[in-house]
Structure 1
Amino acid sequence: MQGRSPQLSMELNRLLLITSFLLHVEEGHASPTRLVCDNRLIQKYIGEAKDMEKRAGQCQELRTLSCPMVLPVVGVNLQQWKSKSNETKRREILCDLMLLVRAAAGAQGQVTQECVARQLSQLYQHANSFLLLLQTFSWEAGPWEPGCSPHSTEQTHVTAIFLTYRQLVQGKLRFFFHNLAKDLCKQG
């Protein structure tokens, strides 16, 4: 594995995520079985989110963005979260991911430092992968409509993008997968 470029490693990780997900989709139900049932995968993505946040924070000259980025408010009230249907949770997470992907892309256009740009690129790829994967399955009939209005906030600090992504993966995504696992991962 030595000598592999960081860009190649990111692309291979992304390909692994998509392949893993697609190989474990149950025919007819389109459920992300392995991603949901193998808790090590979500823990891996949480670890990667923490690493990206840490590496971005270590970059020299972290400046504020000249144009604020709109970020989702990803805090979770567990009582309210538990009362929502899986489809409602999925749609909420999709809205959050769309805002994060847009924010990462917008911030990339504003930063000049390679260190920060590299971390933003990785975050963009990871968030976009989750976005694409969650769009592939649904419990309700009918197409998914991207018109959503999640709670959001404007931020000018690049680090807020990484913090929001980590909180989303650690919170809503992890809870969502844990909830799905109760039904999908019953071992007979």
Structure 2
Amino acid sequence: MELNRLLLLTSFLLHMEEGHAGPTQLVCDNRLIQKYIREAKDMENRAGQCQALPALNYTVVLPLVDLSLQQWKSKPHETKWQEILCDLALLVGAVAGAQGQVTEDCGTRQLSQLYQHANFFLLLLQTFSWEAGPWEQGCSPRSKEQTHITSIFLTYRQLVQGKLRFFFHDLAKDLCKQGQGGGRDPWCRTR
């Protein structure tokens, strides 16, 4: 168990050094989430262009990531955070399950990239702290079974474009104000 955590931490730190943002920078600089949305769209498009992507032999379970903006806004940050973590954990598991079933090079490359991106957000959000304590796996998000690989990419794009973007936008209102805490966070930029 400890070795797995060490490997995840190492992977996370290496991923951070490859140009991905830290929590404060990602929340406070709207351009970064827009970059991740574009990357999600690009991955979805490239996966759609892979030739001969067969249906999966075994279904994967994907989170239902649709949201009602009015309901979303009424939830506290911690609830939103936990919901997104549950969605990401299920999505990362689905990508891993699909990776074991795809042998075509283009599909394998795209799924590998998707796994890295989704896992990056999962690890990043786990670094956020709330008064209630750390997040623990074991949640049961709303889900659906799928056999189409493109559905996995669609789900990821919708998650980044929806819940993640709105979550970071809401956090930015609280965290990225000038003069907060006697000084301005050097990572935060006003919009």
TM range (shorter): 0.7 to 0.9
Report the alpha carbon displacement of residue 155 of structure 1 after superposing the two structures with TM. 0.3
**CA distance in structure 1 between the partners assigned to 2:47 and 2:15 by the alignment:** 19
- Higher mean Cα deviation, 141-150 or 85-94? 141-150
Matching residue of 2:166: 175
Letter paired with 1:146 = Q
Identity score, percent: 75
**CA distance in structure 2 between the partners assigned to 1:103 and 1:15 by the alignment:** 26
Letter paired with 1:151 = R
Matching residue of 2:189: none
Matching residue of 1:81: 72
Q: Is the 8 A contact 1:95 1:146 kept in 2?
A: yes
**CA distance in structure 1 between the partners assigned to 2:14 and 2:111 by the alignment:** 17
The answer to whether the aligner puts 1:117 opposite 2:108 as a matched pair is yes
Q: Is the 8 A contact 1:70 1:154 kept in 2?
A: yes
Letter paired with 1:144 = W
TM-score, structure 1 as length reference: 0.85
Matching residue of 1:34: 25
Question: Which aligned pairs between 1:4-43 and structure 2 lie closer than 5 A?
Answer: 15-18=17-20, 20-21=21-22, 32-43=23-34
- Alignment root-mean-square deviation, CA: 1.6
For structure 1, the 5+ residue unaligned runs are 1-10, 22-31
Over 3 Å counting, the alpha-carbon distance change for 1:13 and 1:49 in structure 2 is farther
For structure 2, the 5+ residue unaligned runs are 1-12, 180-191
Once the two structures are superposed, residues 146-171 of structure 1 have per-residue CA deviations (whole angstroms, 9 ceiling, x without a partner) of 11010000000000000000000000
Aligned equivalent of 2:94, options 87, 90, 103: 103
Q: Is the 8 A contact 2:26 2:32 kept in 1?
A: yes
Q: Is the 8 A contact 1:94 1:134 kept in 2?
A: yes
TM-score, structure 2 as length reference: 0.83
Letter paired with 2:127 = T
Q: Is the 8 A contact 2:126 2:134 kept in 1?
A: no
Letter paired with 1:15 = E
Letter paired with 2:17 = L
